[in-house]
Amino acid sequence: MAAARGVFGFGTKCGRHRIRACLAVAQHSRVPKLLECLTKEFGYGECYNWLVNQTDRFYVSPNKLKIWIECPRKYWHYYLHEPTKYQEPPRPYYTLGEAVHNTLNSFFSLVPQIRTRERLFDQLELHWNAAKNQQGGFKDSQEEKGYKERAINMLENFYKKENTTVVPFKLSPSSTKYFPLNETVMLGGIIDRIDLEPDGTLHIIDYKTGKEDRDDPYQLPMYAILAKEWLKKNVSKLSYLHLESGNWSSQESDEKKEQETKRFVIETVDKIPRQLVKDYFVCSLGPACPHCDYLRELGIEPILD
């Protein structure tokens, strides 16, 4: 916020001429965080609605879409309600996932000649400590040890079974990429890895660190659209690599599937209310819905009525 005030000269009152100037920059750079920054500065009332109407842009990612489909009230808690916005309890599997993803990203950033087992586990040690300090979530050192052993086993299995000399076409970017699906919907995401197939098409790979081989039905098809816009190449293959089991789950991608996914995303986004009032975000399970229980772990009672 301090940086935003310094750059744009925010005052304490809501000056629409200032917002318009900032808005132009936000739309040009496609940075949704700036819009979030503006709404926090000026409040979530008329000013927010005015901003939404002026931008006429909605930023969506696979996770955001998943939360809306899972539970509209959870969506409201996580994305709109200021006291609970973006809050979630620290979890051991977040630390595990972040450390393993970052380890593989760093490992494949190295030239193939020096991608040794020793370097792989040096990277794990580095990223484990960073993720642990940021995410944490362990009850005690024994639980941390158990999760770290899982990470070690995943990477040991990966190093033995997978081609560690492949040169990815693109690795996970440092920030979210956003591209327009239409005049109002901006699609974004961070793709773990993209390989180039022999025919010059793209193969999108997403690492999964869960105990079960579960495929997200929306994530990779949405990434196919994103990668095509970003890299200006056709996408032919989509894969989840389940690191716990070592299993690959792959499917083909083509123009027809991309258009179906695009239509699904746009139609789903159109159903998401642009208002901030909780009454627009009704969960079909009512007060019995378990999807907002995570807030209780933070000492916050979810608003379910």
* For the chain, domain boundaries: 14-56, 92-161, 170-268
- Report the b/e string of 105-131 with b at 16+ CB within 10 A: bbbbeeeeeebeeeebbebbeebbeeb
**AA letter at 127:** H
CA distances from 257 to 106, 130, 174 (A): 32, 38, 28
**AA letter at 118:** E
Tens of each residue's pLDDT in the chain, 305 residues: 444 433 333 333 444 445 544 544 444 444 455 555 555 555 544 455 555 554 578 999 999 999 999 999 999 999 999 999 999 998 999 999 999 999 999 999 999 999 999 999 999 999 999 988 776 789 899 999 999 999 999 999 999 999 999 999 999 988 888 999 999 999 999 999 999 999 999 999 999 999 888 888 889 999 999 999 999 999 999 999 999 999 999 999 999 999 999 999 999 999 999 888 999 999 888 778 899 999 998 899 999 88
User: For residues 61 and 115, what is the distance between their CA atoms, to the nearest angstrom?
Assistant: 32
User: For residues 200 and 87, what is the distance between their CA atoms, to the nearest angstrom?
Assistant: 41
User: For residues 292 and 181, what is the distance between their CA atoms, to the nearest angstrom?
Assistant: 30
Query: Which residue do the tokens 């560690």 mark?
Result: 164
What pTM was computed for the model? 0.79
